[in-house]
Amino acid sequence: MRWSPGQVSGDIEDRRESSGGGGFGNFGAPHIGIGGVLLLLILSFVFHRNLFTLFTSTAPDQAVGSADRVDNAAETREVQFVSFVLDDVQRTWEQVLPRSGTPYRHAKLVLYRDSVDSACGLAQSATGPFYCPGDEKVYLDLGFFEELKGRFGAPGEFAQAYVIAHEVGHHVQKLLGIEQKVTRLQQQDPQEQNPLSVRLELQADCFAGVWGNSTEQRNTIDQSDVEEGLRAAAAVGDDRLQRMATGHISPESFTHGSSAQRVQWFRRGLAQGTISACNTLVAIAGASAFAQTRFSIQIGGGYGPGYYAPPPQGLLSFGSSLHLPLLRLSALRPGLGRRCRVLG
């Protein structure tokens, strides 16, 4: 990608020093005992705040190693890259979204380590990048980019940019007014939750492609960058992630779409560069008549079916099956997934 390191975006909230931060090891369990640990854990879930941070601090005379500094050179460049992508994506939507009659309102992006509070509840980095509609913020632990490159085999800057653009795509879905309508639809027919979630995630992939189309026109990316983005989309397909985690595939449990579907819809947005190209609800074979006839929104200048379907427990994330072997948000607080979107 063609970009120059510069300032940090005004839409970035950097919480890396106040979130996570070493977990139980630093707050002094011997002083409060295991009962206190359990009480703090319960209260954190009840009040949706990481109360362990009240007990984490670095003594004034405690040396901080260079490897532990938040603002080391590599991370500084990463933060500047995230800032560049976020600002570029949002400038694109400032131009594109009003064409469908909807003004664009900026989302914020929160950088954190290990765990973070959001309007959707307490989340851990194992969740992956996610968008929370309740506070209109994208949440990102920079460590995920190493996982994307190493564990999922999707290296490159444009692969990382695709992740950010996908999450901002969920913000666009909220601005289009889809969230409340889909929530009602899911309540009317809970069996539609996963199928609608797949279509939501594929639409966010397509919206990421709409931004990609803009970068192509401005010569910000070349074909090698496009291939990086396509590899990233394929890397987080439900079929691939389920095979990695369990050795088998269960299509009925998909919440984000297969690798082929994610590549298809990202490529479609990239090729056409319009909101109307991302009409995933009716374009995918198998969309139920119930979903097609009961829910429509104005999109791309005309009326077309659309949806917003948070994955189980509510976060709008990059891939709901991304961390199947790890702790899920549903184990933290029931209902969390109905308000946020995790990497997807």
Cα distance between residue 190 and residue 224, in whole Å? 41
On whether the CB atoms of residues 192 and 291 are closer than 8 A, the answer is yes
Mean pLDDT of 122-127: 86
Task: Mark out the alpha helices in 151-285 (DSSP H runs).
Answer: 157-175, 179-188, 193-217, 223-235, 238-246, 259-272, 280-283
Which residues make Cβ contacts (< 8 Å) with residue 75, sequence separation at least 6?
A: 142
Which residue has better confidence, 110 or 21? 110
Digit-coded pLDDT (tens) for 201-213: 999 999 999 999 9
pLDDT at 73: 76
Digit-coded pLDDT (tens) for 69-98: 445 877 888 999 999 999 999 999 999 999
- Residue among 136, 143, 202, 144 nearest 171 (CA): 136
pLDDT at 340: 61
pLDDT at 214: 95
Cα distance between residue 326 and residue 323, in whole Å? 5
Which residues make Cβ contacts (< 8 Å) with residue 331, sequence separation at least 6?
A: none
The DSSP bridge pattern shows strands 297-299 and 115-118 to be unpaired
Task: Please determine, for residue 31, whether its predicted confidence score (pLDDT) is greater than 90.
Answer: no
* Token couple for 172: 């666009």
* Global confidence as pTM: 0.75
pLDDT at 141: 95
pLDDT > 90 in the chain, percent: 50
pLDDT at 174: 93
Digit-coded pLDDT (tens) for 150-201: 989 999 999 999 999 999 999 999 999 876 676 677 778 888 888 888 888 9
3-state helix vs strand vs coil in the chain, percent to 5: 55, 10, 35
| CA distance to 3, 39, 40, 123, per residue, from 44 (Å) | 40, 8, 6, 11
Region of poorest pLDDT, from 27-36, 88-97, 333-342: 27-36
Task: Please determine, for residue 40, whether its predicted confidence score (pLDDT) is greater than 60.
Answer: no
pLDDT at 323: 36
Strand blocks (E) in the chain: 12-14, 108-111, 115-118, 121-124, 130-132, 137-140, 297-299, 302-304, 316-317, 341-342
DSSP, collapsed to helix, strand or coil, labels residue 304 as strand
Task: Please determine, for residue 295, whether its predicted confidence score (pLDDT) is greater than 90.
Answer: no
| CA distance to 270, 275, 300, per residue, from 101 (Å) | 22, 12, 9
pLDDT at 48: 57
* Token couple for 277: 């190209």
Query: In which band, very low, low, confident or very high, does the pLDDT at 318 lie, cut at 50, 70 and 90?
Result: low
Kindly calculate the radius of gyration of the chain based on its CA atoms and give it in whole angstroms: 20
| CA distance to 10, 171, 201, 300, 309, per residue, from 142 (Å) | 18, 20, 21, 33, 26
Task: Please determine, for residue 224, whether its predicted confidence score (pLDDT) is greater than 50.
Answer: yes
Which residues make Cβ contacts (< 8 Å) with residue 209, sequence separation at least 6?
A: 265, 266, 267, 268, 269, 270, 271, 273, 278
Helix (H) or strand (E) holding 31: helix 29-47
Cα distance between residue 235 and residue 218, in whole Å? 27
Residues paired with residue 12 on neighbouring β-strands, in sequence order:
109
On whether the CB atoms of residues 223 and 311 are closer than 8 A, the answer is no
Digit-coded pLDDT (tens) for 233-284: 999 999 999 999 999 999 999 999 999 999 999 999 999 999 999 988 765 5
pLDDT > 70 in the chain, percent: 65
Task: Please determine, for residue 132, whether its predicted confidence score (pLDDT) is greater than 50.
Answer: yes
pLDDT at 313: 42
Cα distance between residue 169 and residue 94, in whole Å? 13
Task: Please determine, for residue 27, whether its predicted confidence score (pLDDT) is greater than 70.
Answer: no
On whether the CB atoms of residues 306 and 295 are closer than 8 A, the answer is yes
pLDDT at 218: 95
